[in-house]
Amino acid sequence: MDAPVAQKKLKVATATLGGCFGCHMSLLDIDERLLTLVEAIEFDRSPITDIKHCGPCDIGLIEGALCNAENVHVLREFRSHCKFLVAVGACAINGGLPAQRNRFDVGDILQKVYSDTPDGRARVPNDPELPLLLDKVYPIHDVVRVDYFIPGCPPSADALWKFLTDLIGGRTPRLDFPQFHFD
């Protein structure tokens, strides 16, 4: 399937928050179809370009959950640059695996991980360079407006391809159930 060619190239950017980077791997798994995509889009911030800061873009794909204050800052800044924001994967949509910690108190977790050691010498890190953990893990729609959701853990390359080609072609993106992917 060829990607529809837009009137002008759309700018697409990606970002990741708290997660495993699996959704980005699915984007890269589009493989040679990426060459077809670049006929209709220009990648801004992404693992393809290695650009670190997002400029104004038409489509922002973001994966991962909100686990710490830095994630919230990155999300808000990214949202401000994106015409359409797309929550990609279970972590962005509902907290995913990182949200497994939500049933525990963050202080208790830190104490258990860093202080309950056999020698008793470990300390909870306290460095201004480390982002402040949030009280729990949040999906991104709890903080910013999200225009589209692509479910999956991670979504398949085919689902991402279908979504992007629909959006680029001016169609409302629609994924059928067989395209959902949960490993």
Determine the average pLDDT of the residues in 157-171. 91
Q: Is residue 82 in a domain?
A: yes
Q: Is residue 123 in a domain?
A: no
Q: Which pLDDT tens digit goes with each residue over 59-96?
A: 999 999 999 999 999 999 999 999 999 999 999 999 99
pTM: 0.87
19 within 8 A of 96, measured Cβ to Cβ: yes
- The mean pLDDT value of the chain amounts to 88
Residue 39 domain boundaries: 10-99+136-179
Q: Which pLDDT tens digit goes with each residue over 102-117?
A: 999 998 988 888 876 7
Helix, strand, or coil (residue 70): helix
Q: Is residue 47 in a domain?
A: yes
pLDDT for the residue numbered 111: 83
The domain total for the chain is 1
**Looking at residue 51, which CATH number applies to its domain?**
3.40.50.700
Amino acid at residue number 38? V
Phi, psi for residue 61 in degrees, rounded to 5: -105, 125
pLDDT for the residue numbered 6: 45
Phi, psi for residue 56 in degrees, rounded to 5: -60, 135
pLDDT for the residue numbered 177: 61
**145 CB-near residues (< 8 Å, 6+ apart):** 79, 85
